[in-house]
Amino acid sequence: MSTFAAAMQSAFGDDRVRAGVALAPYTTFRVGGPADWLIETRSSDEIESALSVARAAGVPVTILGGGSNVLIADAGVRGLVIRPRGGEVHDLGDGRVRADAAVTINGLVRWTINHGRAGLEAWAGTPGTVGGAIVGNAHFGGRLIGDLVSEVRLIARDGTRMDEPAKKLAFGYDRSRLQESGEVVLSAVFRVTVGDPAALRVIARESLAFRKRTQPLDTPSAGCIFQNPEPGRDVLPDGVPWSAGALVDRAGLKGAKVGGARVSRAHGNFIVNEGRASAAEIRDLIDRCKVAVRNRFGVDLREEIVYLGDF
């Protein structure tokens, strides 16, 4: 047994760290090869100790939240994959709630509604975890989740824990500093107000209905593949909408297929896995969309999804 495996076993027990685990079932795309090692952590302290054991052994670490914004390579991911699970939500009593990174956004929405706390209800139906939403600054209906955040508890790769105010996280559309720093989210504090659960439930249901109407939710996907172009950053021909889905559609790619991967007919920014798509096929289709949009409109689409592993 490797020194790393032995150290993980001594920190977590025999059956918690698994070798050669297929990651596809842990992603909404249902695609991706094995992790060398996978641990499902149950608390911030466990995330910290897994990072510490891996650091001491020189083993690379990848964090996998809900797997709803990633494309994992067919060859899988080398090193240790940490998948935070469980987690808790606490009312801090001053118009703020703290949620662990592993809490799902839907779990957080349910908790806040049931406790009469308003602010997050419109995020109902957003797949993934608090950690993933902070890293990518999830967006819905023109709003960014970072706008609701007051601070985030992070752990740097060298093991330093810190509480960072939102203004230091460089939140932007689909952006946070964590994408470059590799810091790991342990928990986040959200600002809330007092609300009537029945009224909040109505808003949550409207969000769910909107998603059902506009997104292909019955087929595996990773949501939007591309970021929308941004005024000030991109230049679009007159009359062309600032929407990646519309650009893919107008470039003639809606419904296009590579192997088991298809650009959704319902939403030009979704690629769906129609059965046995490989990561290579999905990547190929993504590249075709980018080339077609560049050739037609002179716009370089940027991925919203994150590639994990070697492509």
Ligand X SMILES: Cc1cc2nc3c(=O)[nH]c(=O)nc-3n(C[C@H](O)[C@H](O)[C@H](O)COP(=O)(O)OP(=O)(O)OC[C@H]3O[C@@H](n4cnc5c(N)ncnc54)[C@H](O)[C@@H]3O)c2cc1C
By CB under 6 A, name the binding residues for ligand X: 28, 62-70, 84, 101, 126-129, 131-133, 135-136, 138-140, 178, 184-185, 215, 217, 221-223, 306
Pick the closer one to ligand X by CB: 221 or 278. 221
Q: Using the structure block, give the residue that is written with the tokens 């149950």.
A: 42
Q: Which is nearer to ligand X, 229 or 297 (CB)?
A: 229
Query: Residue 217: how many CB atoms within 10 A of its CB?
Result: 16
* Residues facing residue 226 across a β-bridge: 303
Q: What are phi and psi of 139, to 5 degrees?
A: -130, 150
For residue 297, give both structure tokens: 């409109």
CB atoms under 10 Å from CB of 12, counted, come to: 18
Of 26 and 297, which CB lies nearer to ligand X in the complex structure?
A: 26
- DSSP 8-state symbol, 17: E
Least spacing, CB of residue 90 vs ligand X, in Å: 17
Question: Which 3-state string (H, E, C) describes 131-190?
Answer: HHHHHHCCEECCEEHHHHEEEEEEECCCCCEEEEEHHHCCCECCECCHHHHCCEEEEEEE
DSSP conformational letter for 37? E
> What is the closest distance, in whole angstroms, from the C-beta atom of residue 10 to ligand X in the complex?
24
Length of the chain: 311
Q: How far is the CB of 1 from ligand X (least distance, A)?
A: 27
Residue 139 or residue 262: which is nearer to ligand X going by CB? 139
* CA distances (Å), origin 263, targets 32, 102, 295, 298: 19, 30, 18, 20
Task: Pick between residue 50 and residue 200 the one whose CB is nearest to ligand X.
Answer: 50
For ligand X, give the closer residue by CB, 178 or 263: 178
Residue 105 contacts residue 119 (beta carbons within 8 Å): no
Q: List C-alpha distances in Å: 79 to 13, 36, 37, 38, 51.
A: 19, 5, 6, 9, 11
Toward ligand X, which CB reaches closer, 10 or 168? 168
**Least Å distance between CB 262 and ligand X?**
15
Task: Please report how close the Cβ of residue 25 comes to ligand X at its closest, in angstroms.
Answer: 13
Minimum CB distance to ligand X, residue 101 (Å) = 4
What does the alpha-carbon distance between residue 270 and residue 35 come to, in Å, rounded to a whole number? 26
Distance in Å, CB of 186 to ligand X, minimum: 7
Residue 238 CB, shortest distance to ligand X, in Å, is 28
User: CB-wise, 48 or 91, nearer to ligand X?
Assistant: 48
